[in-house]
A and B are shown apart, each in its own frame.
Chain A
Amino acid sequence: MQQPPNSSRRQFLGLAGGAAVLGALPVVTVRPAEATPAMLASAIQSVTGGAAVRTGKVKLDIPPLVENGNTVPMTVSVNHPMAAEDHVRSIHVFNEKNPQPNIANFHLGPHNGRAQVSARIRLADSQKIVAIAKLSDGSFWSASVDVVVTLAACTEEVI
């Protein structure tokens, strides 16, 4: 088989040309559905039942700048004892711009020893991530982080 000369160069130029065309068009981002901070608020409300959520205790570790939204490492830890009479019952993670604002719920108990969970998540846009911890005394604590996403997840076309 004879390869056409400079095939990789041609491919590169083709890609570069395509990118230039894309760049010239106005950027239209298609979102799966309407996603609003109001939905985030109502999702939080469904967990807390309207109880006050205080800031603190919770630490949300997530990169502030995400290059690939398809897999974003996230760790939530709660600075609270895990004693039988006083422990973290659950950790809930939400995102702001998703038709379904829930990311995950983690149910814990005193036997966990340490209130810390990690997971890898998807983000389709730059947005705020909120983690809320529910303690055994019924109080809620939260932390939030703003994340910038350069490559979005979830909306790409399937071939």
Chain B
Amino acid sequence: MASAMINVPAKAKRGDIIEIKTLMSHIMEPGYRHKASGEVVPRDIITSLTCRFNGNEIFRADLFPAVAANPFITFFTTATESGKFEFEWIGDQGFSETASASISVE
């Protein structure tokens, strides 16, 4: 079963550039592998990760089969105000997961 791990600092000073780390458990089946019987294993990957802060999109990634299993993606953002980060992963075969984390900015 898929599960998300996100790492956002709980506190930051206004104007600090903070690092956000995300990891989603997922097989990321590229769709190029074969079973011993010869049939192709169907593609099953996460195609996008979106991060919103207080409702505004601040980061988006389009992913392709060349991304490794359990996509681990990190990026930066400037801490401007207290609020909530919301993460959304969307993928093949109806895959959809969300996670959120709060930050207090002083």
Residues of chain A at the chain B interface (Cβ within 8 Å): 32-33, 70-72, 82, 95, 98-100, 102-109, 111-114, 116-123, 153-159
Give chain B residues whose Cβ lies under 8 Å from the Cβ of A103: 64, 66-67
Top 5 A-B pairs, shortest CB-CB distance:
A113-B78, A32-B32, A113-B17, A120-B68, A114-B76
Give chain A residues whose Cβ lies under 8 Å from the Cβ of B66: 95, 98, 100, 102-104, 121-123
B65 adjacent to chain A (CB < 8 Å)? yes
Is A106's CB under 8 angstroms from B59's CB? yes
Given contacts A70-B68, A106-B61, A107-B59, A158 and B78 within 8 Å (CB-CB): no
Is A117's CB under 8 angstroms from B64's CB? no
Task: Give the contact stretch, choosing among B2-10, B33-41, B86-94, B96-104.
Answer: B33-41
Give chain A residues whose Cβ lies under 8 Å from the Cβ of B72: 118-120
List the count of A-B residue pairs having beta carbons below 8 Å apart: 110
**How distant is A145 from chain B, measured CB to nearest CB, in Å?**
15
Identity of the chain B residue whose Cβ is nearest the Cβ of A72 in the assembled complex:
B68
Give chain B residues whose Cβ lies under 8 Å from the Cβ of A106: 59-61, 75
Is B76's CB under 8 angstroms from A116's CB? yes
B77 adjacent to chain A (CB < 8 Å)? yes
- Tell which of B36, B58, B67 touches A104, judged by Cβ atoms closer than 8 Å: B67
Give chain A residues whose Cβ lies under 8 Å from the Cβ of B61: 104-107, 117, 119
